[in-house]
Structure 1
C-alpha cells in the first residue's frame, strides 16, 4: 500500500487526455490546473473506492463489485454519476467484453480444428485450449 498521498495520484497525462476530450477545441488548460484536476480526481477515486469497500464489507464479502461502486455513489450523494456509469457498464463495457470473448473463442476454434503442426509441439497447450473451448461452449 502506498505510504504517501502523492503515490496515489492519477497520471497527469491520462487526466490531460480526458480534459482535452471534454473541452471544445481552442481552450487551453495550464499545467497547474491539470495537476489540480488530477489530484481532485485521485481523491474522488480513493473516496469512492473506500466507500465501495465498506459496502462490500457490510454485505459480508471480501470482493468489491460494480454494484458496490454504484451504491457508494448514491451514498456519497453523487447519484447523477450512477445513471451514466450504469449505462456505460451495461452497454459499452459488457459489449466489449462479450466481443473479446467471442473473438478469442473463434480464434481458438479456428486453430483447434485445422493444422496440428503447432499443437504437436506443446501437448499441455492443446489440452488447455480444449478446456477453454469446452467452458465457453457451456456458457452459451
Structure 2
C-alpha cells in the first residue's frame, strides 16, 4: 500500500533496512532456551532474518486482503485472514487472544481517571498544597545548610 503509517515521507525502506532489535531477539532466544544452551551470533541473525521474512509474508498477504476489500488500512482481521490463507491456522487462536487482551487494555486505559480527578481537590487547593510542600522542602534545605 502506498499510504504507510509511521513513515517520514521518504522512500520506503528496502529489505536490507528491515530488521528487529538484536538485543531483544537475543533475550527472547535466551529466555526460551535451557540455561546450559548458548545461541551463536550467526544463529541469532538467522532467526532475525526468518522473523523479518515471516512478517513480510504475512503483511504482504494481509495487504492483498485489505486491497481486495478496498480498504486503505490493514486491520487485525486482515492479519488473521492472512495467517489462515497462508496455512498458519495454528497461530490464529493465539493471535485472536492477544488481540482481545490488547483491546481490553485499551479500554482499561481509557477508563482510568487522572490523578487530578482522583484527588477530589480543586486546582487551587492542589496549588496551595504544592506551595506548602515547596516551603517545607526549602525550610528543611535551609536548616541543613546551617
Q: Figure out how many residues of one structure are paired with residues of the other and give that number.
A: 116
The match for 1:60 is 70
Q: TM (normalized to structure 1)? A: 0.72
Shift of 1:18: 1.8
State the distance in 1 between where 2:87 and 2:111 align: 38
After TM superposition, the score normalised by the length of structure 2 is: 0.69
Consecutive unaligned residues in structure 2, runs of 5 or more = 1-11, 126-146
Aligned with 1:2 (options 13, 18, 21): 13
| d(CA) in 1 for partners of 2:106, 2:36 | 35
Query: Separation in 2 of the partners of 1:59 and 1:107?
Result: 43
1:114 matched to 2:118? The reply is: no
Going by fraction, where is helix more abundant, 1 or 2?
1
The CA deviation string for residues 69-117 of structure 1, in whole angstroms up to 9 with x for no partner, is: 0000011111111111111221x322322232222x3446336x53224
Alpha-carbon distance between aligned partners in 2 of 1:108 and 1:71, rounded to the nearest angstrom: 43
Write out aligned runs for 1:89-128 (5 A).
89-90=99-100, 92-103=101-112, 105-107=113-115, 109-110=117-118, 114-117=121-124
Query: What's the counterpart of residue 84 of structure 2?
Result: 74
Measure, in 2, the Cα distance between the counterparts of 1:76 and 1:68: 12
Q: In structure 1, what is the Cα distance between the partners aligned to 2:95 and 2:17?
A: 26
Deviations 1:4-52 (A, max 9, x none): x220111211211221222232221111100000011001111111111
Compared with structure 1, are the counterparts of its residues 20 and 102 closer, same or farther at alpha carbon in structure 2 (3 Å cutoff)?
farther
- Over alpha carbons, which structure has the higher Rg? 2
